[in-house]
Every structure is written in structure tokens, then in C-alpha cells.
Structure 1
Amino acid sequence: MGHLVTVAAAQLDQWALDFQGNLDRILQSIRQAKKIGAKYRIGPELEISGYGCGDHFLEPDTYLHSWEALAKLLEHPDAQEILLDVGMPVTHHSVHYNCRLFILNGRILLIRPKLHLASDGNYREARWFTTWSKLRQLEEHYLPRVIRKVAGQETVPFGDGVIATLDTVVGTELCEELFTPQSPHIAMGLDGVEIFGNPSASHWELRKLGTRIDLIKNATAKSGGIYVYCNQQGCDGDRLYFDGASMVVVNGKVAVMGTQFSLRDVEVVSATVDLESVRAYRGKHHSRSVQASHTTAYPRVKADFALSAPPSAVVDGTWEGDAPVGSHVDGKKWWGRPPTIPLESLELCGPFEEIAYGPACWLWDYLRRSKAAGFFVPLSGGVDSCAVSLIVYSMCRMVVDAVKEGDKTVLNDAKRIVGEDDSAYVPNDAVEFCGRIFHTCYMGSKNSTTETRKRAADLAQHIGSYHLDLDIDSITSAFLSVFSAVTKREPRFKVHGGSWAENQALQNVQARTRMVLAYLMGQLLPWCRGRLGGLLVLGTANVDESLRGYFTKYDCSAADLNPIGAISKNDLRGFIKYAQEAFDIPFLIEFLDAPPTAELEPITDSYQQKDEVDMGMTYDELSRFGRLRKVDMSGPWSMFSKLIYEWGSALSPSEIAGKVKRFFFYYSINRHKMTILTPSVHCESYSPDDNRFDLRPFLYNAAWTWQFSKIDRAAAEMEKGPSVTQDEATVHGTEPGSK
């Protein structure tokens, strides 16, 4: 049989600074791991404090409370007879580190600090922590009194070391370290480490999971080993959603993987592996053996503990699910689970299915933890508000499914949210539950169409939202009456002969009226229905419109949360098409067939407002501009140079130059709008979320004189004709809220 080891990754929904809740979830995961016979349990990054503490990591209280929670863990009876790998912040020699603590039977064996910090994109770890640069070196760390009292030890090794048990060697590769070119697993594997634990807080992003899986598989494909990847799940208190998908990979093959989207607070992902399979895999590669013979050894901290049972102790028997180790099965004693058979293939969610579940899970965490009574959405009858409503409906479906599966935490949260704490209420129908927590309202005007009003009503009826229908004309007329009384002037729309400034102002007053009404509804609709609490107002601006600035500042894009603020228009359309079949809502095709329009200008026989015309660019073009700007780090010149090759077969150099200049002009004059974007779940790699994911100024010289001149000269040279002037890039647009 060899040496069978059962390892467990605890996929937890931790919460920043929720020390009691975090400890409870850690203990629950340990109990589950021990029940299935695991002798090694690893949890997500910084699981004791929560990963998303931000600048709270600069506060001494965060470190104090982490040690206090750890003391409770050390002395807890459930935390014995199992090797634990837990995460928390630690101060060593007055320097803050992001650390892993190996614990066994009430004592700390090793504190291992992070070697490479995540400090790009969404992450600012270098703001709070320092990297440990003394590779393969250990120092003494003096423990605080609260730990000395419980553990009976004064010091513990601190640094870049590994744990040597009686039967194997365990090392850590902490989150970002996997993504670096010279990952620690390479040197550790050559030095004989057989089990690699990777505790992570890796955020969800559309189409990202496949990349993560490939990196983890490759970590052991060349050099062998057992890779236990443990990721956090849920919303940790900010804009990121951590999507779980913890896994155990053996010799380059996935043995088991946890759920990617789940409402569960605790999920334990486990596998049973034969250590001899790792040794055999490594032994057949001569070149690996040569390299291993020259590698520098890691300091080993010895643990008088075996992760596997002796082969002689294993007796024939029949395995029955979660029978505890040492139990009697069919009259025979069983000492462990059979080896886990690697998965033949992985069925990953497509991007549109990810949109259905990722933002929904994020919304659920926010709703249940904020103590709000539900959500409110201004439902316009367009693609964006339709997508937001479908995400909320998807959340309701997930809640009902979790309750049916027996998740008592979800049930209790659902009952509290709808005000049925002490009743026998059970949410067993998604439409019924949606009607209790989701509120929508069509806020029409004389510029609205009957088609959008009908689409909004049909969608609300199908998903069960508490729906209202009203007109805002009397309110906007009141605003304009006050303005005219003061100025003695009456602004007119463009189609009625008005100027660009008049046209913009008349659109913006409608949009901002809807924002004021949305918050009034959000505060008072629960009261109207005889319930306590308020509603969270959801925004409906997509990432492309934010990037372009195609929205009115402080209109109904200003909200409490925005589940689609980092999703492109094209992906939202794909999601609605997916939901049409997955949620059995055939009429969603009507949303996809309708041209996007703000419906803020009067419709005439010769004019109907359309978004792409207003913006001067298509959503396809916007998406490409966004990826080039953020992902490829392209300025105006680099963007033009790349698009010449991509679009050159369909467009002339001067046309491409005009599009690039138009994009950067409007991006520049509207960049200030990014400073007030509604917090949205991060989904897209080109999100313009200001001062969080996108660290760029919001005041530009919108003429881009040097850059545009260089583009003009290049385009003229390519065409051997007259240069394109800058006037094209400085013509006022007609989109709402450009001022």
C-alpha cells in the first residue's frame, strides 16, 4: 500500500477583522479535516485576521488580536493530533511580515514569512509587509506572553525553512510565490520536499482560473510532489471576490478540486495520496536527480509526528465515505482512505456562467454582512440593468439551492434578511425569495419608449422582484422651472435647436433625478412593506462606459454597489444570452435585439439617441482600447502602432489615428468621473477603478499635444497624404454627463 497521506485544504469565507468568526470557521474546518482522516490541514492566506484588512495591518491591535485568536486555537482540543498550517500577520524584530505558522499539538513549530509580496493590480502587500530576503535561513522569534502561557515555549524558529515529519517533508509556497519566475517549489522540490502547501487569497477574474490551474499543475509536473492549493472564497470586505477552487495536484495531475462559486462558509477539499508515488515519479528522471544532488539544503524543523499510518497497520476493509480513521468497517479496522484517483478532466465555468455566479456570491456576502433588507435597482429595460437584475436573481437561486442542500448558515441569514428570524420560513422558491429582497422600479420620462417599459415589467414579473413604475417628468420640470425663474432662460434639446451645453444639461437633470429617487426608494420601500432596514442601491454602469466616461456624474450609476462595474458590454450581452437558456427566460432576446440607448433625448422622425453614436465608438472598439491601455500598458502612440496591424486591413492609418485620439480625448476629459465610481466587484483586467486597481491621474492635458502630433505624422507618412489635424479629437461629444 505504501505510505498513504490524507491532506486537507480549508476553503474558508473569512472576513477582515472578524477574529471570532474567522476562528470559528478555522475550527470547523479542522473538525471536518480530522473526520476524514487528514493529518495535514492548510487554510487560506492570513486566515486569522482576514486578508483584506488593508491599512489595519499597520495597527498594533491587528497583531495583538491575531495572537489572542491563535492562543485560543493552540489550546483547543479539536486542534490536536493534526499538523496545521495557518496564516496571520507577525511582527519580527519590529518588522511586519505576512506569515504561515506550522502548529502541532499546541506548539508552534515554525513561522514562515512570505518571500515575495503581491504589490500590483489589486494588491498593496508591500505597503503593509516586508519580504523575507534571508533565503534558507532561520532566526529565533520571541513569542508574546499570551502564547508562552498556552504553548509553554518562549521562542520559535522564524524564516525560510521546512517541516520534516517522521515520514515526509512539508514546505510552503505562499500565494504570489507561485506566480514568480523563480518559484520556491523548484528549490524545495530538489531538496526533497514532497508536500507543498500554497495558502492563497487569489481573486476571481473572468477567464483567470484556467491560468491558475496550469501554474499549479506545472509546479509538480517536472519535479513531482503533492501540491495542496488552498484559496479563500467569498468577499473579504472589499471589491474582490475570492473564488475558492482549492485543489490537490499530484505529479502534475489534479486529484481533486473544490467549488469555484459557493455560499458555504467552510469547505474542506481533501485527497489521499501515496508518498511512494511521488518518490517513484522523481526517481525515474535522471536529470532531476543530478540537479537535486547539487541543491542547497533548507533548514529542517523536526516534528515527531507522522502524516501517514505505517503500511503494516492497514487492514483489508471496505471504505465507506467519511468513516473516521481507526473505525471498524465490516468488522475490520480501517486506517485510512484509499488513494484518490486523479480527475480525468476539469469542467470549468465559461465566462458567462462565471458572471452568473461570481458577482452573485459577492452580493450575498455583502447583503448578509451589511444587515440590509435587500437590493434596489432602477430597471430601465436595457442590457445593463437587465444583467444586474439577473445577477440578483441568480443569487436568489443559489440561496434556495444552498438551503435545499442543508446549509443552516445560509438559511439563518436568509431568514434574518427577510425579517423571519423566529418563524418556520424556508426560502424554497427563487422567485418568491426574490420578491422579498429585490425591488425594481422603471423611472420613465417623455423620452422613454413603451418597449423599454414593457421589457422592464416583463423581467420583473418573471424573476419576482417587487416592481414599481413611475414617470419623472414632473420632477425634472420642477428643477427646470426653478432654473428658468432664476435665469430667465429656457434650455432646449439639440433636436429643438438647442446648443451642446443645453442638450447635456437636459439629459443630466433626468439622470440625476433618478439617483435621488433610487435612494428615496431604497430607504422607504421596506417601511412601505412593513419591514425594518433599508435597501442597498445597485449601480448599472458597465466597465466600457466607465472607461469612456459615458455616464452622468452622480446619476443612477452612483450607488452603494455595482455588480457589473468591471464587466464589458459584450460579456454582459453574452451573459444575458446564457441566462436566457440557463434561467429559462425566452424573452431576454428582446434585450439583446434592442440597440443600446440612454433615452434621455426626444425621439423624432429623423432622430433616435443611440449609445454608440453618442460615444463615437463601438463597444467592441472600447473593449479593445481598454485592454491595450491597461493590460498592455499602451499610451496613445503604442496603441496606434498596435492597431495599425490589427485594424489596418479595414481602416486607413488616418481613420485608426482618429479613433485612438478620440478615445484618449474622451478618456482624459472624463477621467475625473473615475474618482467617484461605485464600488464594484473586480471582474476584468482592464477595470478603470480609480486609485485602487488603476493608479493614474485624473487631470490630463486632453490635447495630448506631443503624442497626437507623432501619431499624425506617422499616419500622414503611411498614406503619403495630408496630416490628420487635432480638431477631430477636440470636437464636443453628445454623451450624457461629459461635463
Structure 2
Amino acid sequence: MKHGYIRVAAATPDVKVADPEFNRKRICEQLEEGIKNHVKIMVFPELCLTAYTCGDLFGQDALLAKAKEELKQILNVTEGHDLLAFIGMPWENHGKLYNTAVAVQDGRVLGIVPKTNLPNYSEFYELRYFQPGNELPVTVKWEGIEIPMGTNLLFACEEIPQLMIAAEVCEDAWVPNPPSIRHVLAGATVIANCSASDETTGKDIYRRSLISGHSASLVCGYIYANAGEGESTQDLVFGGQNLICENGTLLAESRRFGNKTVYGDMDLERLNHERRRMSTFPAADRRDYRVVPFHMKKEELELKRYIDPRPFVPDDEAERSRRCEEILSIQAMGLKKRLSHTGCKHVVIGISGGLDSTLALLVTARAFDMLEIPRNQIHAVTMPCFGTTDRTYQNACLLTKKLNAELLEVNIKEAVSLHFRDIGQDPEVHDVTYENSQARERTQILMDLANRLNGLVVGTGDMSELALGWATYNGDHMSMYGVNSSVPKTLVRHLVRYYADTCGEEELRDVLMDVLDTPVSPELLPPRDGKIAQKTEDLVGPYELHDFFLYQILRFGYHPEKIYRMAVSAFGDGYEKETILKWLKVFYRRFFSQQFKRSCMPDGPKVGSVAVSPRGDLRMPSDAVSRLWLEELDNL
């Protein structure tokens, strides 16, 4: 449970109808397996101790008594362990029978949660046997102990404040106003659902969407255990579709028609951060609730949770293509509005033959098409200087030609050399002044050209560069509208590739593919043997690592130690641990020290859940210090 991770499970045991002894043995086997696997919360199906499909046998005293007798054996198995399990079983109280989820831990019953919504339509006849549960908890006695019983129960872990569990039973999740809504408003972070949902064609898709949607709208973890093989097939078939979801993400799902246990490592810190971040998520109101405390030992898990090394880029090819098309449209729509508002019919773009300026040019061409402005009023300016290579120069020229934009070449060597003379810079000293003078000269040319043309300078820098401050202040840092300002470098690459794959023009595709194959570089130092001498990722680190850090830091506010652990898990054998730690420290240093550049960055459209605009997602002081974060990494 270090860093907020907790292992949970949804288990479907083999059952025999009306045979609690057999069912108890199978439940206990899965409990023991869960204990060995360091599971802390385990959910079983609805009425699994008797089987859901007992029908009128629920009216038999022998069955009800046997179920409670077998519950004692389950308690014996849990004794000495902190695994919290929810077992579905019938429970009689004051002459009425209830369909309940019984919470058990360490040899005792913590609480009994009755089902609220009893289906009595189509194939369901639960009102024939059961009474709807009470919301307000009451106290029932069993085996000489007092047990709270009611829907409004919260099981609170004393050692882990973020862990607050509530339960609902099957149909409760399918109604317009499920109990889980008020549970999370009372502070529950995890919902357990003991379910017996039969299979009909297409129901699995709806069920998955339902549970995932609940976890998203309620910003919670959701453990859904469904009845499976062994239930009566007199009229129905149960498939055992178990689901573990977290804030809209499916962590684990079992295959149907085979009784299995599925495991998932939930991130409680992520849930807590999301609720804290969302000003519309209300503070907990626990009136009418009874809080049941329990204890749980903290232990560090070897994570089985999948951590996506590329959080900005979908793995699925179809989804990635859909996302790329959507982002290109957002970028183009942003520029379209700015052009129509200003009345500009011309734009100026510095085109280098690199990824970022290529994407900016592609987006601008799309915006011009939307406005029905001729593309020859896009002025793509190539400004070769000391570090320009033939490869990037040729690609810049060819790309501009293929997009039917106007190409303008301004060689800035003479102007920069004159500037060096004016400020007393030795051209043989290849320091930051040597580099930045070139970037600022290029920006001056673009701005002045825009003035002459009554146009607008389109910025090319991406979000990863802004996060690292890898931009020359008042150089490539500045523009009149930055179309790439919230697109991370790892995503820029996929956007250009998507355009190459869908443009339908072989020559355009070829040049785009060569741009993709070119090392990322500002090209501010002289080439070696005609090849790029200055590779950005050699200097500031791999962009795939920095984009991973950026996402986890801004999206979830995690501790540096946790981000390091996640990165080690996500990138596996791709990087040594020491390498990841080195670049994470670099990221924090640069992220804090370079905020002044982001504080005055140009306008640009937000395209994803993470952005660094000072007018939107990141209101951060330019003089904040990074000591707290770096010290945590130094202590690893």
C-alpha cells in the first residue's frame, strides 16, 4: 500500500445450488489464494454462499441456517489476516429475509449491507423472497456479537485515510439513483458490488460500460464480482464477468463463462487527487451514515498494475488515429478563430524541417482550408544559419512546396555575424549567446515579416519544450499564436505520422516520414561531416521520459518518489534505474527554473487533460523553488 496502491480482487467461485458447505469451501479456497497474493479487498458474487438461483428454497429454514453456519467457517479462514471480504448471502432479521453483502475481516463480521433495489421484472422475482434493505443502519445480534446492518455503512481503514469502502448489491448499480452515489458523497473511495447478472446477447458490453461509467462519474474504485458457472441453468446462464475499474479505467476483467479471480492494484492517491482537484466534487457528508473502522497493515506491493509509458498516446491504433484527427481539428479550429477574429489573411511560420514546425505547417494548412484562404498566403520561412544541415533544409523546402504554401528563404548568417560584432561575441565560442542569437534573429524576421504582410506569426514550440524551458526566451519561445503549445513531443510525432498515413500523396508522405526519421535538434551548432551535431535528447534527456514525468506531475500531483517508481515499472528494461532518476531530477530542476517562460507564453489551444498555460491549467509562481521535490529524490 506504499504510494497509495492497494491490491483488490473480484472472485467467482464454483457453486452448487442450495449447497452452502460446497460453496463455502470454494469461497475459502479463493480467500486463501487472495491472502497469498496480498489482496486487501476481495468481493464475491451475490448470494454466492447459497447460490443466487435457489428460488423458493430461500424460504427453507434449513438453507438459511446452514448458510450462517458456513459463514463461521469463512470467519475462521480470515482470522489473523487483514483481507476485507464481501460475501453475498441471505440474512434474516426480525422475520424478514434480506439479500446482503456481508463484510468480514480477521475472524469477525464488520457489517451487513442489504440490497436496496430488488428487481421484479423479466427473469427476476426477488420481491418474492426478499425485503428491500434499510438505509439507516440498525444493530443485529448474531453469535453474541452486535453487528451494524444497513445500506449506509462506510468501512474506514484506520491506517489508510484514503481507503473508505461501501457496498451495493447487483441491481443497485443499474437503477437511476444507485446507493453508490450517496456512498461517495459520504466519502467512500471504493465501491464493492456483489452481483448476479445473467447473460444475454450484448449484455457484457453494457455491463462493462455501466461499471466503468460509475467509477468515472463517482471518481472511485469499483469492484464488481458476478455469479458464474454452477448457478442453475433452468432458465438462465451466468457468465462470471468480473470487473475492476478506477475512475473510468478498466484495471481488470475476467473472461466470461469460466469462474475466475481477477486482481487489480488500485491507486487511492490518484482518486484522492482527482476529488481534491475537482471543485465540483463536494466534501464528505456522513450524516445518516455509520462508520465502521478496521485495521490494515501497510505493505509495499510489487506492482501488477499496468502503467502506460506513453500516457499521451493511445496504444490502440484505431483510437490513436481517432485521437490524432481530433487533435489536428482542435489545433486548426483554434487558429481559424484567431485568424477570423484578427482579420488576418496571411500567416508567417518559421519552417526548419523538424517535427514541430512541420506539425504547425500542417495545422495551418488545415485552418486555411477551413477559411477558404489560398494556401499560398501561408509564408513558410526557412532561415539557414551555422547549424543548418542539407537534410532539414531540403525537407523544409519540399514540405512547403507540397503543401502549396509560399517558401521564403532568409539566410541569417551575415545578420547574426554582424550582431556578434556589435555585442562583442566571439563567433568561435559556441556558448548560449552563440545559440540564442540565432533563435532571436529568426523570431525578429518572422515578426517583422508578419508586420509587413499584415499577418500573424504561428508558433511551433510544443508543450514538452515549454515544460523543460527548452526554448530561447523571446526567440522561438515567442509567437502570436502557438498551435502546438499543449501538444507533447511524443504526440507530435504521432500526429505527423497520422498525417503522412492519411494524406494520400506519396511525395508528401515521403518527406513527412523523413522528418520523422530526423533527430530532434535546434540546429544551432555547426554540423559535423554534414550531419546534425546537436541532439536535444542527448542534452535534456529522452522526451518519452519527460512526457511521462510531465503527465504524472501535473495530472495527479504525485510525490517524486512515486513517479520514479512508476517510471521504473513503466519503462522496464528500456532504461536503467539510475538513468530514470537522473532525468527525473533534470525535469524538476528545469520545470521550476523555467516557469518564467511559461508565465508569458503566447495563446494557444488546449488539446488534452494536461496543459501549461498560465491562463488555464498552470498558475505557478516563477520564483518557486524545487528543493522539496529534489530532496525527496536525493533520499531514495
Normalising by the residue count of structure 2, what TM-score does the alignment of the two structures yield?
0.48
Larger Rg: 2
Normalising by the residue count of structure 1, what TM-score does the alignment of the two structures yield?
0.42
